[in-house]
Structures are given as structure tokens and as C-alpha cells.
Structure 1
């Protein structure tokens, strides 16, 4: 009978979470590098180069790939012959491992978990609790598979119960079109088919823990209907032309993973969950001999791809900028921002709009006249850092706040990731503002452009507090110009047409 010590289990969870915070899985890096070499879209290639360069920087500096360091999800298979040397529950041991990982002084990770989920939504401060799935199996070992799942991709989870005669392929293609770019493609799609509603969702999540092997599958050919389905979906999803960061291009997904389970004769439950460009997962086995020993990848595993600012990019001084200047910017144009901008996410926007509704003044230091706001919740700094990894959060969550922000505060520009919805685009056009996109999955690279940071309001919100950043050559792309043209509409439409061999022209919103 194998004895698993509490200290070994907790340390293994903590070490694994630190490990995946700064090391991409080798298969992901190789797949993304292959996609980069084949990509024909300049915007998508630039985004992929930023992600790959960021990945190497994080591996070298042992800092998070993304500022959203994820919700911890753990799948455990515990042998029935295992004996635990502990007085704690499995959940308590996992949570202690999470706590140690996320508060490690050498590599602080961002705490994102809030409790309760409605109402006060207070940050738990250490990213606990984890979401734990447990299965008892024959044997005398403990198999651990864990992931740190970012909110942007998690928010795009989809579920439906189809009729048995319905086309699953049609449902996937229709649904992917509605997901936008908030899940930070290129990534993976995990699909669960069958079981009950909750089983299908669990299968989809677990499918994302699989290794990327679609090109090997393509080379040898499918051996069963599920492999045929994977190949069909891989080709057809990429043919949608969504591309890296939703900018339009040849690669939207690097793999499609599918798990199945028997289901009721009257039902076809199907779930789909994407994984983002900051895909983080690992697996290991404990046999009672001590904590897991994780072997770091070799830096040679990363391709010799680096990112440098485009020589043709327009340099912008944010200090003293006005509407006349931003009106000259073109959709898809690359900019390098320097100067001061404020930060703010969902909670800060809610507080600001509540103040506006009550006719109360904004806090001292929050003057948005002719200024830009960056949608970001950074990781806390360590050592000599100004700020930890500070990539963009999904801009569509701020769409509901866009009109009052633009009409009542003097704000002229916003920076985030992914597309804006019709309501926000209409407001941007109406007020002659702009929306700029930074690359999701390049958080450490972006942080290097931040030269100073100070909290100016709502300090109690933690990572969601309003900060003032001073930046130098921060790379962004004009995603929605002052006339309301969105590259997240024109880019995918153009590349879908190119892939299909049909020229496409999309009119601005």
C-alpha cells in the first residue's frame, strides 16, 4: 500500500502551478511556431511573434505568461490502494498548494477568485478555492492533471443539447463564429460529446489537457470517426479566417480535442471550451517516493522568433493628444504608445458609472479628459519590476460602460483585447473616439513598456484598482477607428474570403 504524505502532495501542487505559470507546454510552442511560419496575414504574424517572444521571456525570467494567472482546475485519479498521511481533506490540501503557489515571493501570481460569486464578490486573496474533480481508480498511485484556466477563454464556454440527427459540425462552426476573440486565439478547442449536461462540460474541460497532435494525426490519417471529426473541425474552423487575436488569418485553432461518453438515446449533449494562447496545464504521478520533480524545458525548444517594434509603426505621445490626431488613425494601423494612461476593469468602471449616475465627482486623480484607459489587472511586481505582467483583458466586458464613459468623462480612447460589440462601436463612432488592441498572451512583453505605475483610486479593488501607467513604445493596433470601422469584422471576413478564394469587402459598422 502506497503512502502519500500531505507535504509531498501540497508541494507538488504548488510546484506544478509555479512551473506552468512561466513554461508553455512544449507541444504548444512547436505548434504555434509552425503556424507562425505558415501565416500569411501580417497582423496575425505580428501577434504570434509577440506571443512567442513573450513565452521565451517568461521562461527565462520565471514570470507569468499572462497577467490572468488563472482559476486552478485539478483532475485527480486516486488509486484505491493509496493511504493518505494527513488529517486534511483533498480539497484542503489542493487549496494549500494553490495558496503557496500564488503567494510565492519570487513569482507572485495574480489572485482572481472572488467569493461570493454574486453580491460583494470579494477577492479571496490567494486564488483559492481550486475546482477539484476526483475519481477513485484501481491501483496505488495518484495521477494529477491540473490547469490554470484564464477567465477570457473560460467565459466563452458553450453548451447545447442537440437532437441526435443534428449536425455537430454545423453547431461548432456556428458557435465559434459567436465567440469573438476574447479567448485569445490561436488556442485549442476542447469538445465533450455525450453523457449528461454536466458530464459533457467536464469532458470538454478535460479534453483541453491533451497534447497537441493534429499534424501527426493528419500525416497518418484517422483511424476512427472521432479522429475524422477532429480533422474536419480543425480544417473548417481555421477556414473561418478568424485568425490570431481575431485579426484575420490562416490559423485560429492549433488543435481540436474531443472526449465522448455514452448518452441517452433522445439526446446529443455537446460542450465546447476553448483554451487561450496562455495555455497552462501539466500532468504527473505521485507514487509515495516524494514530491514531483519537474524538469524544465530547454530554451532550445523555443523557436528563434523574436518580436521588435515595426519600423513603420506610428509613435504616439499620449500626453497632450486630442481628437484631431486620433481621427487620422486607420484600422489595422500599428502604434507605439508613450506617455501616461489610466487603467480600469469591470469593477472600476462600475464605480465610475455609479458616480456619474449620482452626479458625484470622480475621485482625485481620475481625470479622463482627452485620455486613454487600459483594460488591465496586472500581476504584482517582484524584485526590481515596476509592475508584473500586464496584458489586456477582454474589452467586450466593458461595452455596457462605453457610452457613459465617452459621453460624460471626456475619455477619447480605450485599450484592451478582442472585439467590441455593436453598441460600443456605435458609441465610439458617435463620439469620435478609438479602441486599440494589445495582444492577449504577451503580458510580460507589454509590462516591459511600463516605466512607472501608481494607484490613483479604488485601492481596495486590488488588481482592479485604477492605476496610472507611464509607458514607452507600448505596442497596439487600431482595432476600431473614429469612424467605427473594426478590424475584428473586416479582418476575419477578408481572410475567410481569401481561404475560400472569394474576395470580400466588409463595410464599416
Structure 2
């Protein structure tokens, strides 16, 4: 018997799922992250996880995005061959409409990050469409749907290789993970696809990230086949690298490793690896023709009793409005600061425009002298918010602009997430600047420190415009000091040695 799926049911179900995953972590992620928090011995990593867990609960309660990067939407459809869609246009158009309605919901408007032209104009579509649709025809009379929102920070760390058949997957993964740095916001999970062709391996890696995190249960019962043995081996060896939460050094870098395989050519061994970040977001539902899908909200009892708050005894309070180069030079690597006062914001597009304007001798819309810049593209505010979730973006994307900004604008310091590369670190050392790190995956928590926000430049860039934020006790860590010492290098080195010397009990 043919099942008819109405267009509006598909659209509304996708719109509801997009909203749902913006503020609810999957239950399995919270459970595994809570275990990681309990066993973490690195103070910096434990503090970062505490911020992520606190942020997660706040988002579940307040129905606001877990991360300011609300992702590019992936829709995976398994369509039963006894299904007929009652839709006017294409399946892609119906899915896009669901995404559009979900992202433009006035009660929880999500950040539009999708650009219509990847090469030239890179103009924002303003509604986060189009989404990425994958369709598989299967026996049956239902439509199985998985909706995921994939952030750019983790997606950008995707790795792919055509290995020789004799090459080791484990060796390749252990080479690639340190290269990924912390821009993918660990702790999260790794999805790996092996076999098929290049595009099949990549699709399998992405689909594996939709699976439940079950490493704790797997370790409890023990492996039952070679693939499970391999998952455990990779889980333990990746964590032994000591990268830790946010790359600060610690016991847990990954909560799970998933591996999907497919037959491949005798001469080939395609391998793809995609990380899922601390803002892991996906939902699953089935349409059977009876109406829209219903997603069950998780109980708040699921979250651990972790409530991060500023520690005024351990953190130095900094007044941004009176900040001097001498004060910046006094900051120590790993020191935690609470920032208050006015800061400016800017991301890739703003930095490129600043560079072009300076090259032409044009006056900038704002004066960066003795200011701090925050690498962020915030979510629009709703109700009484000054700004929506406003966590940091990956700082390495601004590395090529760093020397120019410090040399030509009078900028004092920068805030972002994850490590800085050699070019940026040398510029920081040369100019006596500093790089501060905020926790990726704690965007809503960070936004509560922002008391006022206004656009002061490049308004046409949307979320990439230059804002001025007034903040109160915004938490950051000194990640690169004025001498060029990076905690993203020293922290993992310390914890890699400690993990090698001290037996670690798995989660």
C-alpha cells in the first residue's frame, strides 16, 4: 500500500527538527561528557568542560542555540519504495523550505551562515539555505529522516586520503588528529569512513556521526568484533595524545570513534575522517503519512549538577576601557581573565575588507587603537537579549591578517577559539600582543556576559559585521602571551607525558 507524505508534513518536521537540535544536545553526548568531566584531572580542561555543560543546560532551558555557529544543515532521507511525495517542487526545495522556516523562527532565530557563491561574491543567503540532501531508496512505506547541523569549525577539519591497501588506518588517524588542532572544539567524536570511493568514504564518515555515542557501554562489555577492537584502539590512542578539551591538554579529546566501511577496489583504500564538535547536533524521526513528526524533549534531570560561574579568587579582572600594552605584556600563559568594558568584533570578511581599505589609504569605520577584537559572528538577539549566543570562531582563519592588524591599526589583543599558527604567534611576539581564548561550545553562556551590542561597521556583512560589545566578566584564558608561548603547545605536551606515565582508567 502506498504511503503519501504531504509536503507540509515534511517541511514542518524539518523546521521543528532544526529548532530542536539548536538547543538540545543528544542525551548520549551529555552522558558521556558528564563522565569525562568527572574523571578529568587537568584544571583547564575541566573548567572548559564545565562551561560546555553549563551552556548546554542553559540552552535546553532557554531554547537558545548551543553554539553561535548554528551550522549548515544536512538532511539524510531513507525513502521507502512504497512512498509517494505529494509536493509541488523538488525534494530539495521542500527540505530547503523546512530549513528556511526553522532558521527564521522569530522565537529562536538562528544564525544564517550559508553563502550562495563559494568562489566570488560569497553573499549570505540570509536563511541558511540550501541544505545538503542525501537520499537513499529502501524497501518499505516510511521515510526515515536524520537532520544534522554541522558547524564550520569542525567541518573544516575534515581529512581525506587515498591510502595504499597496506597502510595503517591507526597510524594515519594519529598523524591527522594533531594536525586538526583544536578548532573542531573537542571533546567530541570522530566519524571515519573506509572503502568504496572517495565520495562514498566521505558520506559514510558523515553518516557515522549520526550514530549514538556508546563508547562507555562498549568498554564495559568489551569488543565483539575486529571493528569494535579498532574503535577502542583509536579511542585510547587519540586520547593518549593529551590534546584535551579545547586543546588545552587533558585526558579526554574524543568521547567516541565511529567507523563505517564499504567494499572497495583492490588497489584502493579511501579513508575519510570528520570530527563532531562540542555542539554535536542531530535528530532522527520517521514519517509514515500520519502527519508531522514529534521529537521528545530530554529531561533536564539528564544534565549533571555542574553550574559554572566566574571565580573571582582565581581569575584576574581586566578593564578593557583602560587596557595598556604594558598590562597585556604582564599576562601569563594559562592565566584566566574576566574581561569588562568595550571590545570590537570581526571575522574573515571584516578582516579582508580592513586589509583592502588600508591598502587603498581609506579610513576605517572604527578606531582599533588600544582595543581588543573578538573573533565572533553572533546570533541575532530575541526578546530582551543584548545579543544572541556569541561564542568564538576559529582564530587560525585570521592568522594571515594578524601582523597587519597589530602593525597598522593599534590593536592590543585578540580573542578567539583554539590555537594560533606560527605566523600569528610570531606577529604576537613581535608586537608584544596576546591572544586570549574563549571556550568554543559555550556560546550562550558567553553571551550572558555581553550587556550591550551595536553594529559599528560593515553592516552589509550581516553576522560578519563589526560590532561593539560591552561586556561584564567575560571569561577567557591567555592562550598566547606576549613572548609567544602557546598553551595549545605546552598543555598537550604536559598531558601527553602524564598519560604515558600514569595508567588511565577509561570512561
TM-score range relative to shorter protein: over 0.9
Q: What's 2:472 paired with? A: 472
Q: What's 1:246 paired with? A: 247
SS at match of 2:382: coil
**1:390 and 2:367 matched:** no
Q: Distance in 1 between matches of 2:62 and 2:217?
A: 32
Q: Distance in 2 between matches of 1:86 and 1:181?
A: 43
Q: Distance in 2 between matches of 1:87 and 1:484?
A: 59
CA deviation profile, 1:309-350 (whole Å, cap 9, x unmatched): 123100000002111111111000000000000000000000
Instruction: Kindly report which structure 2 residues correspond to 1:325-336, keeping only aligned pairs within 5 A, or say none.
Output: 325-336=327-338
Q: Distance in 1 between matches of 2:87 and 2:411?
A: 55
Q: Distance in 2 between matches of 1:11 and 1:193?
A: 35
1:97, distance to aligned residue in structure 2 (A): 0.2
Instruction: Kindly report which structure 2 residues correspond to 1:79-98, keeping only aligned pairs within 5 A, or say none.
Output: 79-98=80-99
SS at match of 1:373: strand
TM-score, length-normalised on structure 2? Answer: 0.98
Q: What's 2:111 paired with? A: 110
Q: What's 2:146 paired with? A: 145
Q: Distance in 1 between matches of 2:81 and 2:266?
A: 33
1:265, distance to aligned residue in structure 2 (A): 0.6
Unaligned runs of 5+ in 2: 503-507
Aligned length: 500
**1:361 and 2:363 matched:** yes
Q: Distance in 2 between matches of 1:323 and 1:458?
A: 27
Q: What's 2:352 paired with? A: 350
Instruction: Kindly report which structure 2 residues correspond to 1:70-469, keeping only aligned pairs within 5 A, or say none.
Output: 70-310=71-311, 311-363=313-365, 366-469=366-469
1:384, distance to aligned residue in structure 2 (A): 0.7
1:115, distance to aligned residue in structure 2 (A): 1.1
Deviates more, 1:222-231 or 1:434-443: 222-231
Q: Distance in 2 between matches of 1:301 and 1:218?
A: 21
Q: Distance in 1 between matches of 2:136 and 2:447?
A: 40
Q: What's 1:28 paired with? A: 29
CA deviation profile, 1:450-499 (whole Å, cap 9, x unmatched): 01011000000000000000000000000000010000000001100110
SS at match of 1:476: strand
SS at match of 1:384: coil
Q: What's 1:10 paired with? A: 11
TM-score, length-normalised on structure 1? Answer: 0.98
Q: Distance in 1 between matches of 2:461 and 2:126?
A: 11
Q: Distance in 1 between matches of 2:116 and 2:289?
A: 35
Q: What's 1:506 paired with? A: none
How big is the alpha-carbon RMSD for the aligned residues of Structure 1 and Structure 2? 0.7
Q: What's 2:492 paired with? A: 492
Unaligned runs of 5+ in 1: 503-509
Q: Distance in 2 between matches of 1:295 and 1:175?
A: 37
1:219, distance to aligned residue in structure 2 (A): 1.3
Q: Distance in 1 between matches of 2:470 and 2:384?
A: 16
Q: Distance in 1 between matches of 2:191 and 2:85?
A: 33
